[in-house]
A and B are shown apart, each in its own frame.
Chain A
Amino acid sequence: MTRILAKDVSKIYGNTKAVYRVSLEARDSEFVTILGPSGCGKSTTLRMIAGLIRVDEGRVFFDDEDVTDVPPNKRNIGFVFQRVALFPHMNVRKNIAFGLKARHVPEREIRKKIKQALAIVRMEDYENRAPSQLSGGQAQRIEIARVLATDPDVLLFDEPLSNIDAKLRDELKFEIRKIQRETGKTMVYVTHDQGEAFAISDRIYVMSQGIVDQVGTPTELYMDPSTPFVAGFIGQNNFLVGHIESLNSSSGTGTVHSDGIEIRAHVPDGLKCGDKVTACIRPEDIEILPEGKREPGEATKARIVESIFLGNTTRLHVDAGGTILKVDLRGPERFSYLKVKDKEIIMSLKKCTVIRGHQT
Chain B
Amino acid sequence: MKPKDTERIGQFVSYGYVLAVSVFLLVPFMVTVIRSVTYSLPDGTTTVGLKPYFDIMGSFWPKVYLSLSIAVTTIMIDTAVGIPAAYALVRYAFPGKRALYTLLNGVWYVPGICYALSLILAYYFLYKWALGYWGFIAAYSAGFLLLMLMTCIVAFKYVDPCYEESASCLGAGRLTTFFKVTMPLIGPGVSAGILLIFVLSFNEFITALLLNLPTKLMTAPVRVFAEITRARATPYIAAEAAVLQLISLAVVVVYLKIVGTKYLRGVVLV
- CA distance in complex: A85, B184 (Å): 15
Chain B stretch 133-181: residues in CB contact (< 8 A) with chain A: 160, 162-163, 165-173, 176, 180-181
B206 interface residue (CB < 8 Å to A): no
Residue among B172, B173, B185 with max Cβ neighbours from chain A (10 Å)? B172
Q: In the complex, which residues of chain A have a beta carbon less than 8 angstroms from the beta carbon of B172?
A: 73, 98-99, 102
Q: How far is the CB of B181 from chain A (nearest CB, A)?
A: 6
Whether B180 contacts A98 by the Cβ 8 Å rule is yes
Q: Are A83 and B162 in contact (CB under 8 A)?
A: yes
- Indicate the size class of the contact surface on chain B: 10 to 19
Contact of B169 among A77, A83, A88 (CB under 8 A): A77
Interface size on A, residues (CB 8 A): 23
Docked CA distance A352–B162 (Å): 45
Q: In the complex, A99 Cα to B177 Cα: how many Å? A: 11
Closest chain-A Cβ to B191's Cβ sits at a distance in Å of: 14
Within the complex, which residue of A50, A52, A73, A81 is in contact with B171, where a contact is CB–CB below 8 Å?
Answer: A73
A50 to B162 CA separation, bound complex (whole angstroms): 13
**Which chain A residues lie closer than 8 Å to B170 at the CB level?**
73, 98-99, 102, 146-147, 150
Most buried by A among B160, B166, B167, B173: B166
Does A76 touch B at the CB level, under 8 Å? Answer: yes
Q: Shortest CB–CB separation between residue A49 and chain B, in angstroms?
A: 11
Are A81's CB and B185's CB within 8 A? no
* Interface residue? A294 (CB, 8 A): no
Across the interface, do A85 and B162 meet the contact criterion of CB distance under 8 Å?
A: yes
A50 and B173 CA atoms in complex are apart in Å by 15
Q: Assuming A73-B173, A98-B180, A102-B176, is B163 touching A52 (CB within 8 A)?
A: no
Is A167 in contact with chain B by the CB < 8 A criterion?
no
The majority secondary structure among interface residues of chain B is helix
Instruction: Tell me, rounded to whole Å, the shortest Cβ–Cβ distance linking B244 to chain A.
Output: 36
Interface flags, A94-136, vs B, CB<8A=1, else 0: 0000110011000000000000000000000000000000000
Cross-chain contact of B165 among A78, A79, A88, A98 (Cβ < 8 A): A79
State in angstroms the CA–CA spacing of A120 and B60 once bound together: 67
Contacts of A98 in B (CB 8 A): 167, 170, 172, 180
* Complex CA distance for A87 and B162, rounded to whole angstroms: 10
Chain B residues with CB under 8 Å of A76's CB are 171
| B171–A88 CB distance below 8 A | no
Minimum CB–CB distance from A327 to chain B (whole Å) comes to 45
Query: Could you tell me if B165 and A85 are in contact, using CB atoms closer than 8 angstroms?
Result: yes
CB distance from B81 to the nearest CB of A (A): 24
Contacts of A146 in B (CB 8 A): 170
In the complex, chain A residues 45-97 whose Cβ is within 8 Å of any chain B Cβ: 50, 52, 71-74, 76-79, 81, 83, 85, 87-89
Shortest Cβ distance from residue A25 to the other chain B in the assembled complex, whole angstroms: 21
Give the CA-CA distance A71 to B160 in the complex, in Å: 20
Q: Which residues of B contact A147 (CB under 8 A)?
A: 169-170
Type the 1/0 row for A144-161, where 1 means its CB is closer than 8 Å to any CB of B: 001100100000000000
A72 to B165: give the CA distance in the assembly, Å.
8
Chain B residue numbers with a CB within 8 Å of A71 are: 168
Per-position contact with A for B179-211: 1 when CB-CB < 8 Å, else 0? 011001101000000000000000000000000
Q: Does A72 contact B163, Cβ atoms closer than 8 Å?
A: no
Q: What's the minimum C-beta distance from A200 to chain B, rounded to whole angstroms? A: 21
Decide yes or no: A89 and B165 within 8 Å by CB, A73-B173, A150-B171 being known contacts: no
A131 to chain B, nearest CB (A): 11
With a cutoff of 8 Å between Cβ atoms, the chain B residues found around residue A102 in the complex are 167, 170-173, 176
Chain A residues with CB under 8 Å of B184's CB are: 87, 89
Cβ contacts under 8 Å, A72 to chain B: 165, 168-169
Contact B165 A52, beta carbon cutoff 8 Å = yes
Q: Which residue of chain B is the closest to A146 with respect to CB atoms?
A: B170
B166 to chain A, nearest CB (A): 4
Which of B165, B168, B169, B181 makes the CB contact (< 8 A) with A87?
B181
Contact across chains for B185 and A103 when beta carbons are under 8 A apart = no
**Residues of B bordering A, CB below 8 Å:** 160, 162-163, 165-173, 176, 180-181, 184-185, 187
What would 25 A/B residue contacts be, using CB atoms closer than 8 Å?
A50-B169, A52-B165, A52-B169, A72-B165, A72-B168, A72-B169, A73-B170, A73-B171, A73-B172, A78-B169, A79-B166, A79-B169, A81-B166, A83-B160, A83-B162, A85-B165, A85-B166, A87-B163, A87-B167, A98-B167, A102-B167, A102-B173, A102-B176, A147-B169, A147-B170
Sort A-B residue pairs by CB-CB distance and give the 10 closest, nearest first.
A99-B170, A85-B166, A79-B169, A102-B171, A102-B172, A89-B184, A85-B162, A72-B168, A73-B168, A81-B162
Residue numbers of A with Cβ under 8 A of B are 50, 52, 71-74, 76-79, 81, 83, 85, 87-89, 98-99, 102-103, 146-147, 150
For the complex with contacts A72-B169, A87-B163, A146-B170, 5 further pairs of A-B residues with Cβ separation under 8 Å are A52-B169, A72-B165, A85-B165, A88-B185, A103-B171
